[in-house]
Structure 1
Amino acid sequence: MKPKNLAKKLGVTKKKQAKFDAALIEAEQAGELRVAESGRIQSKVPQGSHLGIVHRVKSGDAYIILREPKPLGLSEDVFVDKHDLKDAQNGDEVFIKLLQRRKSRGQRCGYVVEVVERATNVFVGTYFEEDESGWVQIDGKEFPEPVWVGDPGAKGAQEEDKVVIEMLRFPAVGQIGEAVLTEVLGARGTPGVDTQMIIHEFGIPDAFPQAVLDDARLEAENFDENDLTDREDLTGKTIVTIDPKTARDFDDAISLERIEKGHWELGVHIADVSHFVQPGTELDREAELRGTSVYLPTKVIPMLPEVISNGLASLQEGKVRFTMSAFIEYTAEGVPVSTRFSRSAIQVSQRFAYEEVMPIIEADDAQQIEGVTPEIRKLLKEMHHLAMILRKRRFAKGALELDMPEVRLSLNPDGEVTGAYETEHDESHQVIEEFMLAANIAVAVKFKDEGIDFLRRVHADPAETKLKTLKQFVEALGFELEQYQSKKHLQGLLNQVRGTPQERAVNYAFLRSLKQAEYSPIEMGHYALAEDQYCHFTSPIRRYPDLHIHRLMASLVCDNVTYRTLSAEDLIRLGHHCSNTARRAEQAERELTKIKLLSHFAERVGDQIEAVVTGVERFGLFCRGLEIPVEGLVHISVVSSEDYYEYDREAMALVGRRSGKMIRMGDRATVEVVHVDVDRRELNFKMITHTETEVRQAKKKATKKKGQPPRNSKGGKPNSKSNKKASATKSKRKPNQRKRKRK
C-alpha cells in the first residue's frame, strides 16, 4: 500500500510522521521491505523467489522479465507455462520460483508464487448477455474468454455497447473472471467512443478536479505582466517561435546575436511554468499525477489546465510572458565557451510554423517576402547556419540519428479517418531540435558543476547480445555492420539504409536493440545523444520533469534555498513515475491511431490496395499499405494458390517450394483486405500479386549470362522497404460467435 495509507492504518500521528518516514527508509535500505515503482510499500522478496514482470504471449504462456539483481548466471527471461501462472496477467509484477525443467533450447522454466502488484484492474470491452447474466469480452487478445459482470442491464448497458469494467477476480486456467461494470461508454462505432475507450483503458486522468481549476484561475487573477521584479527584461529583443501549425501551447522561443570575436550568443527562452505552479499546491499535485500531456489523434489531454497551458504560460506572439532563459556563447565553429541563466520576460516578435521557415531561409536575399522583416529574415538564416554547425559537431562526437516517421491521421468532424500520412522532419525541425538539445545539455552540466542532484534523462548503453542480434538481422538483409559496438559503424548502417525499402525494418530493429530512455537521478549518460550530462528543461508546459528542473534552476538563479532538490529516494520515485506516464501517453496515442485505421479498413473488406512487405515470419508476411500506412498479416496459407511457401530463416524470406520464387522485405505487392476485427486489433490481407523479387532474380540471371560475377547479398543494393510489424494475427471468433457456440 501507499506509505500514507500504511501510516494511517498504524495510527501514526503528525508528530511521529517524520520518524515513520525515516523508519521506512531504514527498513528499505536494510532489505526488510521494498518500494515499488508506483511508490507502494511491499514485503521483501521471499527467499528463493525472484521478482519480475509478466509478458504473456498468444498461447497463454508467459515470459517473466526479471528485475535486477538477477540470479547468478541467468540472463534470459524465464518461461512460465499458462497452468503455472495462477491468475497473473500481462504487465503484472510477480514473485516466481525457478524449476529444474528447461525448454528445448535450454531456457529456464518457473512458476508464479504470488502476484505482487497488478498492472491494472480496469479494462474496456464489449458487453453482451447470455444465460440471464451480463458478460464483457475485453478488447485485445490477452483475455480469450469473456468476463462475468453479474445481472444483465447494469448501468443501462445494451448489447454491443463498449463498457468499462473493474476486475474483482482475474481469470485463470479453469477459473472464470469476475468484474463490476463501472461505466457505459456508448454503442460501438459512435463518434468519440473509441477515444473514451483508450482514455479508460490506459487510466489517463481527463477532466481536472474543481480545486485544481480554482488554483489555476487564482493564478490568472494574480498575473501581472508589467511586474518584472527580479526578471531580466528581454521584451525589446527580436525573438521567434517555430512550432507545428496545429500547436496550441508554445514552450520555447529563440534569440540569436553575433557578439565580439565573431562569437554567437544563443538565447533559449522557456515558459516559466514554475512561476504559476508552486510545490505542494493542488495544481502541482495534479500535474505530478499526470506526469505529461497526452496527444491523442482526436484530443489533447493537458498536464495543466488550459488557462495556464494555453494562456498564461504559453509564449504567444506579441504577449509579455515570463520565461527561464539559457544563454550559450559559441565560437564561430560552434564550440560552447560559456553559459548563463536568468529568470526573464520576453515578447515574441513573430511566430512561425515549421512549413514556413525553410522557404524564407532558402529564398534569395533580393526576394521580398510578405510579412517578414529583414531583421527576422536575418535571424532565421543565422539560426539555420548555427544549428547546422552544431548538428555536424554532434554527429562527429558520436550521436545517433534514428529516423522513425510518425503516422498522422486526417479525420472528419466525426473522428473518422479520411486519410493518413507520415510526418516529415526537414531542416526547420532540426534547427529547433539542436537548440533544445543545447539548452538541455547546458542545464545538466550546470547542475553537475554545482553538485546538485536532479532528475536526468538517461539512456543506458545497449546489451551486447542485442547488438549481435541486430548485426545478424541486417547482414541477412544484405547490409554490412562490421563493428556492432561502434557508434560510428551503427550510424554508418543507418546512413546505408536511408532511402532504401529496408529503411524502416532496419530502423525498427535498431530501436528494439536499444534500451528505453528514462528519468533517473543516477548518472549513466545518454547513449543515443553521446552526452554524459542531459536532462529535460525545454517543455515544462507538457512534462513534469521539466517543471522540476525549472524549480531547481530558479533556486540557483535566485539563490533560494527553500527548493534545492528532492531526496535521493524521492528523485528515484519521481523518475519511475514520470517514465511510466510518458510511456503510457505514447502507447495510448499509438493504440488509438491503430483503432482509427482498423475502423477505416473495416469498411473496405474486399478492396485491393498496393502495399509493401514489411516483415517475414514463419506464419506469413506483414504488409503495409502505401496510400494509408497500416499493417496487416498475409497468413502463409493465403500467400499463393499455385505454390506452397516455406520460411527460409537464413534468407529471411518465404520461398516457393515448386517455383523457387522468394518473397522478402521490401517487395511490392497487391493485397486484398479479407478480415478486420477492431476489438481484437486484427487486420488480415490476401496476396494477389507480388513482383519485386522476380525482377531482382531476372537481373541476377542476366548478369550471370554476361559472365559477370553475381552480386552477393552484401554487395548488392537492397531493394525493400519495411516497418515494425503490426500486431495483426489470424482471426479468432468474436463474442457473438462464441455465444452461439456456447448455446
Structure 2
Amino acid sequence: MSKLEDQIIEHLSDPKYRPIDSGALAKKLRVNKKGMPEFRNELELLVSDGKIREGKKGRLQLKAASGFVTGIVKKISSGAAFVIPNDAKPAADRKKQDVYISSRDLHDAQTGDEVLVRLSSRRRSGGQRCGRVDKVLERASNVFVGTYLEAQGQGFVRVDGTAFQGDIHVGDPGAKGAVPDDKVVIEMLRFPSANRVGEAVLTEVLGKRGDPGVDTMTVVHSLGLPYEFSEDVLEDARLQADHFDEADFGDRMDLTKETIVTIDPATARDFDDAISLRKDKRGHWQLGVHIADVAHFVPPGGPLDRSAKDRGTSCYLPRHVIPMLPEIISNGLASLQEGNVRYTKSVFIEFDAKGNPQGAEVANTVIKVSKRFAYEEVMPVINDPQSQKGKVSAKIVQLLMKMHELAMMLRRKRFANGALQMGIPEVEIDFNDDGNVTGAHERHHDESHEIIEEFMLAANIAVAQILSSRDIPFLRRIHGTPDELRLKGFQEFCSGLGYDLEKFQSRKEIQAVINSVEGKPEERAVNFALLRAMKQAEYSPEEFSHYALNEEDYCHFTSPIRRYPDLTIHRVVGELAAGRKPQIDSMGELLQLGKHCSTTERRAEKAERELKRIKLLRYLEDKVGEEMDAFITGVENFGLFCQGTEVPAEGLVHISSLTDDFYTYLQASRTLKGSKSNAEYRLGDQVRVLIVNVDVDRRQLDLRVVSPPKKARKMGVSPKGLPKKKGRGGRKSGRDGAAKASSDSRPSRGRGKGDKSKKGGRKRR
C-alpha cells in the first residue's frame, strides 16, 4: 500500500468522517497541483479494486465490512423502513435483497438517506434480512418545505409529502413573520426518530398556501434547485456580450451566404439549432447541422461555467423555466435568430443516395439564418409548395422538400435497423392566466418534428463516432440493455395477452409487438409494461451503447444552451475543428461529471413531475365525490395506480376498496385477479373511478373503482379536456429513448398556453 493510498483509507476510516467528493478529499489531504495526477490514479485504483466506492454526487466511502450493508432508506407508513443495498443485483424478487429496519432500529434516518446498516441474525417470516442503522452516511436533504402551524404557543411545520409522520418544532411562533397556513422553508437541526420530536429552524416564508407562484417555489426549495443567478455570473455574461463582435469571423468557416433554416415552436424565444442541406452531382446528401456556439461564451472555469455545471441542465416547470445559462446568453448571444450573424459549431454529414452515412466532419462556423419556421408552418409548404409562391422563396421551399425527403429516409432506416419507438401519447396540461389547471390536450407531433429529430440524432451520432474514432474520452449518452429478467417478464406479460415474443432480447421483435398492438385495447398495457422494463439513460464516459437507439456511439451535442454535457462536447469539438489537441479530463473526472449531470437531470425531471402533480391535485380538490374515466398505470399487491383520461392526475385505488371479490396479485402479468369472478385489473385497462380524497400537501389522490375495466379504445384528450378519437399525437419518451428514441436528440422549449414566462415549458420529441 502506497503512502497516499494509506492516507486515503485512514481518512475514510475515521469515525467522524462524512462522505465528501474527490476534490474536497484532496484539500483535506493537502494534495497540491503537482500531486493531483497521482491522487486521481490512486482513487481510480481503490474504486476499481472495490476498496472504496463513490456514492451520490461522487462522494467517497469505504466499502462496507462483512456483516454491514450500505444503501438507501425507504420508509413505509408504519414507521419502519427498508434499506435498498447499493450493491443490489437485478433479481426476480428484489425484496429478498432489501434489509428490513424496524422503527426503533431506524434511529433518525429518513427516506432517501444513505446509511450503514449492521445486519442482525434475525430474519422475517419470508426469510428477509433484518438489521439496524449504524450510521447515516449522507442525508438526502436537510432542507424541507411545509405548512406552518401553531399549537400551545409554539411554532410547528407539517412537512409536505409523507417523509415525516409528525410535525417539526420550529420554536417560538411568528419566526420570519410566518402566520398559520403559510408555506415555509425549514432547515433541520435534529431529525425526528421513534422517540424524539424533530427540530428545525424556519429560514424563509414563501407565502400563503395555494397563492400564485407559491407552488413553484415550494418545488424549487424542496428539491434544492438553483434559482437566481449570482451577480458574478450575470456580470460574466454581460462581459461576454460586450466582447462579442459579429463582424469578427476570425478563422471560422463563413456560411453566412448559405440557405439555412430553423424550425422551432411558434412561441420559442431561443433557437440553438439550424439546418442546411444540398445534393451534390453524385446524388449524395450533404447535411449541415449548425448548433449555437455556447462554448465560445462560456470559458472553462469561469463564473458562467461553474454555475452551468452546478445546474447541469435547464429545468422546465409548468409555465416557468429555470435556465442553465442567463438569458443574455441563451436568448441573445447564442440564439440563432433570423437575419443575425451568429457563431456556431457545425457537423457536416454526407449520406449516399440511399441514406447511408459516408463520413462526417466538424467545423467552427458563422451563419446567418435565412428563415425561421414554426413547426405548424412547415408541412403546408412541403405538402403544397405551389401555394407558397410569393410567401416563401423558391430556395427555401426546395430546402424544406429536400429536408423532408432525407429525414423520412433516415427515419425508415433507423427503425428497420432496430431502434425502438413506443406509442404512449404525451399529454400536456392547460393553464389559465392565474396558473390554474383548466384541462389537458395531447401534444401535437407531425413530420415537421420528425425532420428535426432525425437530423439532431444524426448529428449526435456523427460527433460521437468522430470522437470515438480518435480514442478521445467524452461524456456519452448511454442507455443500458434491460436486465434479462425484466425482458423475460415483459415476454411473459405479452404472452398473457396473446402476443408471442419468441426472442425477447430482439429489438426488432419487441418493435413488432409494439406495432401489432397499435390501435388495440391492449396498446397501453404493452407500452407501459415495456417502459417498466427499460433502464434509464445516463451520462458516462464508459463505452456503452444506447439500447433504444441501437447505436454503439452516441452523445449529446445539439443543445449546449440547456445541457452541460453538450457544452463539454462542444469544447472538444471546437479544439478538433481548430486543429488543436483537446484538453481532456481524466476518466475519473468524467465519471464524476457524468454522475453529477445524470443526477441534475433526474432532479429537473422530478421537479417537473412534482409541480404538475401539485397543480393537478389543486384542480381536483373541489371535485371530491365526482367520477372520472381513468386507465391503469400500475398494478401492485396493495392496489392499482390509475391516471385520469381527461386530466392526467394519478391516484391509488387501494386493494381494500375492491370489496366485490378477493383479489390476488399475479406478478408475471401485472394483474389483480378475482378468485371467484375471475375479474381482472391489468396494466392499461380503462376504468371508471370515484375521487374519494385529495391531499395536496401529502401529494395523495385516493380513488375507488365504480365501474370495472371495460374494453379500452385508443383515446386521446381534446384541448378542452374531453375524450376524442386519437389522431397523430406526441409520444412520451418515458425512460429516455425507449418510447421515442429521438427524445434523446433535442430538448424542447416552447411556451405553453397562458405562459407568461420569458422562456416556456418543454415539449418532448
Same fold (TM over 0.5): yes
Matches within 5 A, 1:216-615: 216-363=237-384, 365-368=385-388, 371-561=391-581, 563-615=582-634
Question: Which of these residues, 53, 59, 65, is aligned with residue 72 of structure 2?
Answer: 53
* Residues in 2 aligned to 1:506 and 1:103: alpha-carbon distance in whole angstroms: 35
Q: Which residue of 1 aligns with 2:740?
A: none
| CA deviation after TM superposition for structure 1 residue 475, in Å | 2.9
Matches within 5 A, 1:624-643: 624-638=643-657, 643=660
Answer yes or no: is the 8 Å Cα contact 1:613–1:668 preserved in 2: yes
* Residues in 2 aligned to 1:45 and 1:442: alpha-carbon distance in whole angstroms: 42
* 1:466-500 Cα deviation digits (max 9, x unpaired): 11222233333443322211212211222223233
Answer yes or no: is the 8 Å Cα contact 2:653–2:702 preserved in 1: yes
Q: Which residue of 2 aligns with 1:708?
A: none
Answer yes or no: is the 8 Å Cα contact 1:148–1:179 preserved in 2: yes
Answer yes or no: is the 8 Å Cα contact 2:92–2:485 preserved in 1: no
Answer yes or no: is the 8 Å Cα contact 1:470–1:513 preserved in 2: yes
Question: Which of these residues, 142, 146, 162, is aligned with residue 141 of structure 1?
Answer: 162
- Which region of structure 1 is more displaced relative to structure 2, 328-337 or 28-37? 28-37
* 1:105-155 Cα deviation digits (max 9, x unpaired): 444444333221112111111111123222111111222222222222111
| CA deviation after TM superposition for structure 1 residue 671, in Å | 3.1
Paired-residue identity, %: 53
Q: Which residue of 1 aligns with 2:721?
A: none
Question: Which of these residues, 134, 158, 173, is aligned with residue 152 of structure 1?
Answer: 173
* Change over 3 Å in CA distance of 1:421–1:24 after alignment to 2: same
> Is 2:698 aligned against 1:680?
yes
TM normalised by structure 2 equals 0.84
SS at 2:239's partner residue? Answer: helix
* Residues in 1 aligned to 2:569 and 2:453: alpha-carbon distance in whole angstroms: 19
Q: Which residue of 1 aligns with 2:34?
A: 18
Give 1:401's aligned amino acid: Q
- Which region of structure 1 is more displaced relative to structure 2, 100-109 or 535-544? 100-109
Answer yes or no: is the 8 Å Cα contact 1:58–1:142 preserved in 2: no
Answer yes or no: is the 8 Å Cα contact 1:494–1:507 preserved in 2: yes
Answer yes or no: is the 8 Å Cα contact 2:313–2:323 preserved in 1: yes
- Which region of structure 1 is more displaced relative to structure 2, 395-404 or 210-219? 395-404
* Change over 3 Å in CA distance of 1:41–1:623 after alignment to 2: closer
* Residues in 2 aligned to 1:72 and 1:116: alpha-carbon distance in whole angstroms: 26
Answer yes or no: is the 8 Å Cα contact 1:95–1:112 preserved in 2: yes
* Residues in 2 aligned to 1:723 and 1:385: alpha-carbon distance in whole angstroms: 25
* 1:687-729 Cα deviation digits (max 9, x unpaired): 444572699xxxxxxxxxxxxxxxxxxxxxxxxxx999xxxxx
Answer yes or no: is the 8 Å Cα contact 2:493–2:669 preserved in 1: no
Give 1:80's aligned amino acid: Y
**Which runs of no fewer than 5 residues in structure 1 stay unpaired?**
696-721, 725-743
Give 1:591's aligned amino acid: E
Answer yes or no: is the 8 Å Cα contact 1:405–1:424 preserved in 2: no
* Residues in 1 aligned to 2:52 and 2:495: alpha-carbon distance in whole angstroms: 47
- Which protein, 1 or 2, shows the higher relative CO under an 8 Å CA cutoff with sep ≥ 6? 2
Residue correspondences, number? 691
* 1:642-675 Cα deviation digits (max 9, x unpaired): x445346387655667766555555544433231
* Change over 3 Å in CA distance of 1:401–1:651 after alignment to 2: closer
SS at 2:171's partner residue? Answer: coil
* Residues in 2 aligned to 1:683 and 1:528: alpha-carbon distance in whole angstroms: 33
Give 1:18's aligned amino acid: K
Answer yes or no: is the 8 Å Cα contact 2:381–2:387 preserved in 1: no
* 1:4-33 Cα deviation digits (max 9, x unpaired): 5556666x48xx343267346425634665
Give 1:292's aligned amino acid: T
* Residues in 1 aligned to 2:337 and 2:90: alpha-carbon distance in whole angstroms: 55
* Residues in 2 aligned to 1:694 and 1:654: alpha-carbon distance in whole angstroms: 17
Answer yes or no: is the 8 Å Cα contact 1:599–1:678 preserved in 2: yes
| CA deviation after TM superposition for structure 1 residue 101, in Å | 4.0
Answer yes or no: is the 8 Å Cα contact 1:257–1:264 preserved in 2: yes
SS at 1:262's partner residue? Answer: coil
SS at 2:353's partner residue? Answer: coil
Answer yes or no: is the 8 Å Cα contact 1:63–1:77 preserved in 2: no
Give 1:232's aligned amino acid: M
Q: Which residue of 2 aligns with 1:646?
A: 663
* Residues in 2 aligned to 1:370 and 1:49: alpha-carbon distance in whole angstroms: 75
Question: Which of these residues, 206, 209, 224, is aligned with residue 230 of structure 2?
Answer: 209
Answer yes or no: is the 8 Å Cα contact 1:456–1:520 preserved in 2: yes
- Which region of structure 1 is more displaced relative to structure 2, 488-497 or 315-324? 488-497
* 1:412-464 Cα deviation digits (max 9, x unpaired): 22211111123243222221111111111111111111121111111121111
> Is 2:184 aligned against 1:168?
no
* Change over 3 Å in CA distance of 1:415–1:224 after alignment to 2: same
* Residues in 2 aligned to 1:694 and 1:202: alpha-carbon distance in whole angstroms: 37
- Which region of structure 1 is more displaced relative to structure 2, 351-360 or 273-282? 351-360
| CA deviation after TM superposition for structure 1 residue 410, in Å | 1.4
